[in-house]
Structure 1
């Protein structure tokens, strides 16, 4: 399907996507049973949604807290942009820091936001000092430590 084409989702597509979001491990037969259609129809519909780029993949979402990470910090970074490749060099280096779980870019005063996790404050301090502060082209950093996550739902309202 061409990139410029917009896919029109029918009721069945939305039902399948809702079930798949809720339980990504469901097989086509079980999805079909829940949606009230044959597994072969589910297979065709899901293939169409994948081909159109609506479904980009199915993945496991791992709770990093269950693995011993207790600290979550959001770093808002302003870059020194006098170097023509400052943005690219910073992003490439930030991708190499294992504790960086998210990288977002912005237009405005803040250029980049990094999501950083650590096992405890001592680990965070070491990551910040040894890995973050050594990233190229940083002009300013503001750190925001997460106190509570009120909503972190990846499901779409289908």
Structure 2
């Protein structure tokens, strides 16, 4: 169970994951050793999983983002596993989510431009196994992108 100090650590860590243990300790008004032990404990418990770099794909020339909602042919016993295995191999697919309901899978796909997307769609996406239905949603704007939780 998290106490107030743990929540304070997580709040500051979420706001700036580049802070050193000493800086976090100072912000949370605890010793560096206590801070380090608490962070280690939260990592071991799986509360803090990783730190990652956020890349601006548009700055690297990827101007098209599409969300594909895929319904799989559920009459095939291995449809889900086979689809996932092949979809993971497409480098332009940057995220795969699964759902319960009419839509089984959502793929986030990046492309440099519409011609690149069209080629990718024809050559890599439509050849994925066991697709019963697919719907493309063209990304227009990112209104909110945040994984920070209120702690």
Q: TM-score range by the shorter chain?
A: over 0.9
Residue 142 of structure 2 is matched in structure 1 by 149
Residue 125 in structure 1 maps to residue 118 in structure 2: yes
Q: Distance in 1 between matches of 2:9 and 2:122?
A: 46
Q: CA deviation at 1:35?
A: 1.0
Could you tell me how far apart the structure 2 residues matched to 1:119 and 1:54 are? 35
Pick from 13, 16, 25 the counterpart of residue 23 of structure 1.
Answer: 16
Q: Show the counterpart of 2:75.
A: 82
The equivalent of 1:55 in structure 2 is 48
TM-score (norm 2): 0.96
Any idea what SS the aligned residue of 1:82 has? coil
SS in 2 for 1:58: coil
Report the Cα offset of residue 156 of structure 1: 1.3
1:75 shift after superposition: 0.4
Extract unaligned runs of 5+ from structure 2.
Answer: none
SS at match of 1:130: helix
What displacement does 1:149 show? 1.2
> 2: CA distance between counterparts of 1:63 and 1:45?
32
For the residue of structure 2 that corresponds to 1:34, the secondary structure is helix
Q: TM-score, normalised by structure 1?
A: 0.92
* Secondary structure of the corresponding residue to residue 54 of structure 2: coil
Q: Aligned equivalents of 1:33 and 1:148: distance in 2?
A: 38
SS of corresponding position for 1:54: coil
Over residues 52-104 of structure 1, what are the superposed CA-to-partner deviations in whole Å (9 max), with x where a residue is unaligned?
11001111111212211111101011111222100000011000000101111
Please name the residue that 2:98 is paired with: 105
Unaligned runs of 5+ in 1: 1-7
The match for 2:38 among 35, 45, 55 is 45
SS at match of 1:139: strand
Q: Tell me the equivalent position of 1:5.
A: none
